Structure 1
Amino acid sequence: MTKNRRMALGAFLPAPGHHLAAWRHPDSYPQGGLEFDYYRKLALAAERGMFDLMFLSDGAGVRTAYKDADELSRQGRMVHFEPITLLSALATHTTHLGLVATASTSYNEPFNIARKFSSLDFLSAGRAGWNVVTSATDAEARNFNLDRQAPHADRYARAREFMEVVTGLWDSWEDDAFLYNKESGRFFDPEKLHILDHHGEHFSVRGPLNLARSPQGHPVIVQAGASPDGKDFAAHWAEVVFTVQQNLDAGREFYRDVKQRTQDAGRDPEQVKVLPGVFTVVGRTRGEAEDKYEQLQSLVDPVIGLGMLSYQLGMVDLSGYDLDGPLPEMPSIEGSTSKQDVVVQHARDNNLSIRQLYLSIAAGRGHRFLLGTAEEIADQLEEWFVEGAADGFNVMPDMLPRGLDDFSDLVVPVLQKRGLVRTEYEGTTLRENLGLRRPENRTA
């Protein structure tokens, strides 16, 4: 490990936890997705564990492959707060934790997104991050006057222009534009106001943004996507990349690829942090961790397991296939092609039946699975970190709140003793804590 390099940590926190059956566990709190105090306690647990950020995924509707009301009723993550609203409230209860929300470029307008995330950055004194997605399901499209989602390439073309507009709006004002001079009567310096006046294929936006430049200049840009379009998008825009790899070689290859693409795009690769997702089950002994996992596995509903697998594969219908037979050849899809590739490769590499596959990914939905004692999990995280496969990790606890407490109270102290994780926050903004530079105003 190079001097002063430390592991970045994200806490990925869906209400009941990441295991498919977490909501059915006797100790879970399935209604937590609609209770502020539940999330307040999770945020404080993440801050206690010196995490850089908490991350909330989101979709523009109920993304489901289930076919009838009975199947739909068995889901465990149906409803939850709109994430920017929730994180705005959590900003007043935390002091250092980064607050990252998902928002789609397919079903929003750039001005609204620029304004909302800039507002979150002000409310949190510089701790906002935007996880940029293009959305991936027809179910979401049908909530926005469409029958189906746009083709993959079209969604990314819109997303690239969306980013140009949003970042341009964030640069509407120079940092010292506002004077608030009561004696002279000048509220701002007009020379430091810049009108975007964007006219493109997808958007026509004049500007300026009706907010001053935010504490971080721009909220931190987060992205997850391993398709060629996704990696190209990351190279040009992302500052944190969430990713899915199952083994060290694949992790190294993705890491090298993204860093090289970033350099080729004229950006500093050190200003892009690659954080693979890791599903964790922590025990004080390995046996305890195994017992925790087996209890969750025993609660997996076969109907939901197959539906979840269908979703992970891009809404591919598997109902006509033998569950104890092999996964069939997959059709091409317009959804998350990289996710489908990871799941299919996992099935092929391990010779898994359809049933074995859905049980295998009921935990991390295709992410790397770490089970064991704090020392065993720390060993595996350290290996990827020092071997050039990660700048840190997006931690996905098995169930909440237990899994996050286990990681913060058991794994983090081991990593701290090894000098891999901070013992106190270095700065007050998310950029400072991640070691990311404040972007220059391109209009100045």
Structure 2
Amino acid sequence: MKKESTTKFSKICTLLLAGAMTVLTFAGCGTSSGSASSPSPSVSASAEASASPSASEAAGLYYGSAATAESVVKDAAGKGKVGNWGLGNEYEIQALLSKYGLPTTFLSQAFDMNGFDDDTIALASAMTYNELGLVKNSYEGGYSYGDKVKTIDMNEEGVAMLEDNIFTTSAFAKANPNTVTAFLYASLKGWEYAVANPEEAAEICYKYGSSVSADHQAYMADEVEKLVTTDTKGSAVSKIGNMDEAAMQQTLDLAKKYIKLDDSVAASKLQSLTLDDIRDTSYWAAASASTDGKFGAPEKTDISIQLKWLPDAQFMGYYVALDKGYYKDVGLNVTIVPGGGDISETTAVNSGQVDFGVTWVSNLIAANAGGMSLTEVAQIFQRSGLVLVYKING
């Protein structure tokens, strides 16, 4: 059932990186120590021996449709075929491997799904709103696997870490409370409209310079909607942007366990961080409680927000707010700055190049451990978008 790779697919995947693959750059600390490697032969033999007989069928490549997550993880890890990009969301993979008593090593996965397609990687990382769609769907650039693949969900496995949030510096928030609250109010309004109208939101993103096809943009919008409106437990979210205490604490706890910083001072600070060191709920509370968006005159009216990646539906709420005039309605002139390449959103915000940014909670945690003073003011994605995808027989 292996499909023929396409040049277009590789190009699309390389462009995307799901917005989540920006290299972590932190002030005052070393980078995370390398973790992408293959298990030793002795580890492989042990893991394979512990895997359930139903983990894989006779061919040894793919898995039975009824195989448990544990059996698939153990089998793939035993063969050294669990993949991840290793640029910030490997912590969830490491937590999953630890859950099943396995070493936390993994294959370095490229920014496409070619390794998954050619069976180099049996259990590949994919974002639900990006790579998974390209694997399953038959539109331009897709592999058309359809229902011949299954996934292991980080939320269901209890190792989810929160992703896209809105953050700024503590100093900016304190000096510009009206601006921060107004920006949040308009952004949340944009997200509310986007998740209620994902098809239109996808079209708006496409208009602002999408890096993907219209079909994939539409797919992305539908999947991002689920991340915004459903929490890690599968329950409906009552208010967009809420900073769920339990989910944030789990993210912080996993970050402390799996983020490795070379600088000893940064590593020590990481272990001492609390939620109060990385977020302030007061601005979101004021913005979400308002019915008219009036918070007093903004202290700064020309502001900017740095995205993690190129324009696409991962960020549809901001583009909707811009397109619908929600930012202008609260007296703000907002510039949305695309990410990509070597741009670090945490560094851009910390240095004052931009006023707000979109990052993962783990990125913000590591940045603050390294000497920055960033604060999350809203949590847009309420659950992890990371899954491990594998092929099934049949």
Relative to the length of structure 1, the TM-score reads 0.26
Relative to the length of structure 2, the TM-score reads 0.28
Larger Rg: 1
Q: Relative contact order (C-alpha < 8 Å, sep 6+): which is higher? A: 2
